Structure 1
Amino acid sequence: MSAVRTVLGDVRPEQLGVCDAHDHLFLRSPQLPGQELNDASAARAELAAFRAVGGGSVVQWTPYGMGRRAADLPALSRTAGVHLVCATGLHQAAHYTPELLEEVRGRLAEVFVSELTEGIGTSGVRAGLIKVAGGFHALDEHARWTMRAAAEAHHATGATIAVHLEHGTGALDVLDLLCGRLGVEPGRVVLGHLNRSPDPVIQRQAAEAGAYLAFDGPSRAHHATDWRMPDAVRALADAGHGDRLLLGGDTVVAGARSVDGGPGMPYLLRRVRPRLALELGEELVDRVLTENPGRAFAADWR
């Protein structure tokens, strides 16, 4: 049977409850110096705040080599009463040292499979999805390398592949590669950040292909998100693609946490949910937050 692989073990899709389908509790990158998410106490408080407004699960997209702190996640999940899904995968090259990339050269798919089936390091925590990334309107060789490895790991395990789209661009190139050339079923692909490039034609084409569309990071004022997202989501729902939609917060720096003065994870349910309910109705928004993530991240694990 299909199951979502959480840090505490596999659960049925319907057990996720209300799901933040793309966020981060821990994250470290040379691109974000001094802004690391690396405070376990703050992560615990953020999860508690999310739980207090009705949150039931968080899918953490932090991949390999970016400070996931996988060993800390089970205790955080138990304490908060929130299901957590951890990622394997690899981000853009700019987020890593050349030495780290060289360490996994030639064995990247093997690393992904091991973290999905055996565990991340000595933590005992198994990853529940593969996260990779495209570039701005293009896929460079690094992106193609990571996506080939992701596809190989997907075929070996059944895991969903979640893709960071740089500024929301390159969705169709990603689908051409993963689904057209590498044989991944579109329904096993989650495209992130489409709200950052609010092109209704591209969004419709991606949904028609069968991929999941994640509208994440809605609180960022420098992206065209808050005021355009309801119209985009309504257009997709009206076109019959309500079952392809996901919502997330994508908290990537410490100052964005609600416990540090930012919107954080609770914003998704405090502000985004009621705003979308005005456009779509409570019933559809509830399904987007509960049923859709369960289908998107569940797998028939191999």
Structure 2
Amino acid sequence: MTRVRTVLGDVRPAELGVCDAHDHLFLRSPRLPGQELDDVPAARAELAAFRAAGGAAVVQWTPYGMGRRAEELPALSRATGVRIVCATGLHQAVHYEPGLTARLRGGKLAGLFVSELTEGIGTTGVRAGLIKVAGGFHGLDAHARWTMAAAAEAHHATGAPIAVHLELGTGALDVVDLLCGELGVPGERVILGHLNRSPDPVVHRQAAASGCWLAFDGPSRAHHATDWRMPEAVRALAEAGFGDRLLLGGDTVTAGARSVDGGPGMPHLLRRVRQRLAQEVGAELVERVLTEHPGRAFGTRWT
């Protein structure tokens, strides 16, 4: 039977409720000095604000080695009543010191992913519920191919879904060719993130036709064009028959982006994005995207 693996244990997909399918409670990177998400009270306040806006579940895509604070997540989930799904995986090389990735060479990476999915993250007892990897700008470098090969191996061993950061929304078809073609991962087990950042309707349709999930996750941090084009991109996919492949998320990656610190934060998804998309595709589809789709995308017949 399909289950979503949360930090408090496996639940039926229907139990997730309204879900932010891509966000971060904790995150550290040398690319974001001084902007770390590393404050437990702030994370609790953000989850509480999301809950007050009608949210019930959050999928944290923070992978291995980026300060995901897995040990804090169960208590935060209990305190706020928000279900949390935690990730294993590896981001782009620029987010790590070279020594860390070097230690995972030699066939160790897939084993790390499998261990965190099935046994738990370190001594926390928290089991990851997805594998997060990343592509590059309009392509895949050697690091991306290495991490995706390990993710595919871990998927075949466990059934876990693979969530992919697309750099500025690009490279989706390269990811599909590698993961779903060469590496044999079923499209319905792959989530392509940040497609709102590159609103190319042809690429979107081709990616959707592969069976992959298409995630529109987070307001623009650079300019507004992708924000106002996102609803029309979602509508185009729905009209093309791919409304059942969509996910929505907030992708809060810096402290200043939290709602409790004056940014849009997690509640923005429910306060603004939900209403805006309902004008384009109808409230019924938007509610399915927020409730039914995450359970299908992250639900797994764990092996």
* TM-score higher than 0.5: yes
* Residue of structure 2 in register with 1:177 after alignment: 178
Match of 1:177, as an amino acid? L
CA distance in 2: counterparts of 1:169 and 1:241, whole angstroms: 19
Mapping of residues 93-132 of structure 1, within 5 Å = 93-106=93-106, 107-132=108-133
CA distance in 1: counterparts of 2:79 and 2:288, whole angstroms: 26
Please give the per-residue CA displacement for 1:222-244, whole angstroms capped at 9, x wherever unaligned: 25332101100011011111110
Equivalent position SS for 2:216: strand
Mapping of residues 252-291 of structure 1, within 5 Å = 252-291=253-292
Task: Report how far residue 219 of structure 1 moved.
Answer: 5.0
Match of 2:90, as an amino acid? L
Equivalent position SS for 1:228: helix
* Residue of structure 2 in register with 1:59 after alignment: 59
Please give the per-residue CA displacement for 1:9-38, whole angstroms capped at 9, x wherever unaligned: 000000000000000000000000000000
CA distance in 1: counterparts of 2:224 and 2:138, whole angstroms: 16
CA distance in 1: counterparts of 2:224 and 2:96, whole angstroms: 25
CA distance in 1: counterparts of 2:224 and 2:14, whole angstroms: 32
Mapping of residues 28-43 of structure 1, within 5 Å = 28-43=28-43
Please give the per-residue CA displacement for 1:203-258, whole angstroms capped at 9, x wherever unaligned: 01000111000000125352533210110001101111111000000000000000
CA distance in 2: counterparts of 1:171 and 1:50, whole angstroms: 30
Matched, 1:23 2:23: yes
Asked whether the equivalents of residues 163 and 190 of structure 2 are also in contact (C-alpha less than 8 Å), the reply is yes
Matched, 1:69 2:79: no
Task: Report how far residue 89 of structure 1 moved.
Answer: 0.1
Mapping of residues 234-245 of structure 1, within 5 Å = 234-245=235-246
Please give the per-residue CA displacement for 1:69-111, whole angstroms capped at 9, x wherever unaligned: 0000000001110000000000000000011111211200000
Match of 2:69, as an amino acid? R
Equivalent position SS for 1:293: helix
Mapping of residues 184-195 of structure 1, within 5 Å = 184-195=185-196
Asked whether the equivalents of residues 197 and 220 of structure 2 are also in contact (C-alpha less than 8 Å), the reply is no
Give the alignment's TM-score, normalised by structure 2: 0.99
Equivalent position SS for 2:225: coil
Mapping of residues 212-231 of structure 1, within 5 Å = 212-218=213-219, 220=221, 222=223, 224-231=225-232
Asked whether the equivalents of residues 86 and 126 of structure 1 are also in contact (C-alpha less than 8 Å), the reply is yes
Asked whether the equivalents of residues 218 and 272 of structure 1 are also in contact (C-alpha less than 8 Å), the reply is no
CA distance in 2: counterparts of 1:142 and 1:48, whole angstroms: 37
* Residue of structure 2 in register with 1:147 after alignment: 148
**Percent identity of equivalent pairs:** 80
- Please say which of residues 95-104 and 140-149 is displaced more in the overlay: 95-104
Please give the per-residue CA displacement for 1:175-201, whole angstroms capped at 9, x wherever unaligned: 000010000000000000011011000
* Residue of structure 1 in register with 2:207 after alignment: 206
CA distance in 2: counterparts of 1:39 and 1:219, whole angstroms: 24
Equivalent position SS for 1:218: coil
* Residue of structure 1 in register with 2:251 after alignment: 250
* Residue of structure 2 in register with 1:157 after alignment: 158
* Residue of structure 1 in register with 2:4 after alignment: 4
Task: Report how far residue 280 of structure 1 moved.
Answer: 1.0
Asked whether the equivalents of residues 251 and 257 of structure 1 are also in contact (C-alpha less than 8 Å), the reply is yes
Equivalent position SS for 2:143: helix
Match of 1:146, as an amino acid? T
Give the alignment's TM-score, normalised by structure 1: 0.99
Q: Classify 1:87/1:114 alpha carbon distance in 2 versus 1 (closer, same or farther; 3 Å).
A: same
CA distance in 1: counterparts of 2:300 and 2:237, whole angstroms: 25
Equivalent position SS for 2:227: coil
Q: How many residues align?
A: 302
CA distance in 2: counterparts of 1:104 and 1:38, whole angstroms: 25
Structure 1 unpaired stretches of 5+: none
CA distance in 2: counterparts of 1:290 and 1:205, whole angstroms: 25
Please give the per-residue CA displacement for 1:132-159, whole angstroms capped at 9, x wherever unaligned: 0000001000000000000000000000
CA distance in 2: counterparts of 1:154 and 1:222, whole angstroms: 36
Please give the per-residue CA displacement for 1:254-274, whole angstroms capped at 9, x wherever unaligned: 000000110000000000000
Match of 1:58, as an amino acid? V
Structure 2 unpaired stretches of 5+: none
Equivalent position SS for 2:173: helix
